Every structure is written in C-alpha cells, then in structure tokens.
Amino acid sequence: MSNFIDNIVNKRFRLVFDYLRENGKIKSKSDVAAQLGTYNHIINSILKGKRNITLDQMNKLIETYHINANFMFGYSSQMFDEDDDMNFSLTDTASEYKKNITLVPNLAMAGNAIDMSDPQHQKDLPKFYIPNIPGLDGDLIAIEISGDSMLPNITNGDMVICESVASGATDGNGIKDNSVYIVVTDTVVAKRVQKVKESNKTVRLRLISDNTTYPPYEVEMSEVKQIFRVKYRLTQYGIA
C-alpha cells in the first residue's frame, strides 16, 4: 500500500483541517467531505496518509475556505489569502514573487477547453509560484493528469506545469516533435506529439502515448483549440 503521509500537499491539508476544527469552522470530517464533494472515509484516508488529496478536492478546499494556494504547495507560511496573522514557522518565499502558475481543475473532462485567454476565467482560478526552479517564469498553468496512457513517465494524479504554444493551434509552429504536450480538442489529453505535414505544411498532429497499450492516433489541426507544452511534472515525491 502506498504511503502518502509525507506528501507536502497532504501535510498542509492536515494543518488546514486541524485549524478549521480547532477554531470551530468545521465540526467533523463530514463537514469537509460535503464541501469537497466526496465522502467521510476519503477525507479520513487523506488525513491518515493512505491517499492523496485530488486536484479537484484541493481546488474546492481553496475556494470554500479561502486557503492560500501557495500554502498548500509549501511555498508560503500564510494559510489564508486574507489573514496576515495566520503564519507558521516557515520561510515565506512565495510572497516575494508574482503568483504566475494558474491551477486548472478537471483536466480530463470532455469538451472542457482551457480558456486561458479569458481574464475573468483566470481570475477565478487559484494561483501559486514555485521558487528556485529555472524556466518557471511567464504565465503558466498546472493541470492534473488523469489516466495511465503516459506511464511510466507521467502517472495518474501527477500534476504538470505547462506553457501555452501561442501559434500551435493554427499552424503547428512552436511544436517540437516527440515532446509532451497538453492538446485540447473536444477532449483534453497529455501526449507526445509529432507533426504530420503535407506540402511542407502541418495538417495533422500524431498523438502518441508512452504506454504502448494505447495506439497512436491523429487529429486535424482544424480540431485543435489549444496546445500547452509540458515543462515540469509534480509528483508526490517532488518536481521533475
């Protein structure tokens, strides 16, 4: 059985849970479970380190109780967005930087285009920053991977940090063959990508799973709404 007790997000969830209960914000695990859209035994398993909190559950926790997303990832000592007095004995490095990574829930929902061009949509999503990691500047998104098609390199529940390929959805420019991308059509998938050209023009993308159980398939460029290049992967053990 996996042991998730040392996962930083799970540790911070336990701190949040204890604070909410000790200060009368919640009475029991059932209160949190109802707000996070899950069950009492799921919350109990997270608290005991028997499973990870999911991205969707964490997003609901942040929204419902106004939790600072950077606190959940271990990069801030401030638990709440608007409570400067709620601190722990940690170095608050994130407050010195722009929170430039947007946490996007529900990666695998069919038809769920990630509209990062809509300022209002971005405003409603939690943001965080990871210090001391090269290449994590600019506007980025973090999304949770669902499924096993990219095993063994990306596993179910991993979070990937990505940057938008500005022109990729129209002509394939900016796409590097055999690199991993999040491709948004009527579905949202993480795949290795190869450009398929005709008359020196990219007309389709071949999407390849690292798990060879899943055969490659192609999508027309006209079907592609957005493309995000995967820069880093967050696992329960750290960032890769």
What would the pLDDT profile of 62-116 be if each residue is shown by its tens digit?
Answer: 989 989 888 888 777 788 876 545 554 444 444 445 678 888 865 533 345 566 5
Q: Dihedral of the CA atoms 66, 69, 72, 74 (nearest 10)? A: -140
Distance CA(178)–CA(174), nearest Å, equals 13
Distance CA(142)–CA(103), nearest Å, equals 5
Q: Band of the pLDDT at 143, cuts 50, 70, 90?
A: confident
Distance CA(32)–CA(38), nearest Å, equals 9
Do both 74 and 124 map to the same domain? Answer: no
CB 190, CB 182: distance < 8 Å: yes
pLDDT at residue number 213: 94
Assigned domain for 149 exists: yes
Do both 57 and 163 map to the same domain? Answer: no
Do both 129 and 226 map to the same domain? Answer: yes
Alpha helices (H) along the chain: 8-22, 29-36, 40-47, 55-65, 69-72, 119-123, 168-171
Do both 128 and 201 map to the same domain? Answer: yes
Q: At 189, phi and psi to the nearest 5?
A: -130, 155
Do both 168 and 233 map to the same domain? Answer: yes
Do both 81 and 131 map to the same domain? Answer: no
Do both 131 and 67 map to the same domain? Answer: no
Q: Which domain holds residue 173?
A: 119-239
Do both 185 and 150 map to the same domain? Answer: yes
Do both 139 and 223 map to the same domain? Answer: yes
Do both 225 and 160 map to the same domain? Answer: yes
For 9-34, what is the mean pLDDT? 90
Assigned domain for 71 exists: yes
CATH number at residue 83: 1.10.260.40
Do both 125 and 227 map to the same domain? Answer: yes
For 202-229, what is the mean pLDDT? 93
pLDDT at residue number 34: 93
Do both 163 and 58 map to the same domain? Answer: no
- Which of the residue ranges 85-99, 110-124, 197-211 would you say has the lowest mean pLDDT? 85-99
Assigned domain for 3 exists: no
Q: Dihedral of the CA atoms 64, 114, 55, 74 (nearest 10)? A: -80
In total, how many domains does the chain have? 2
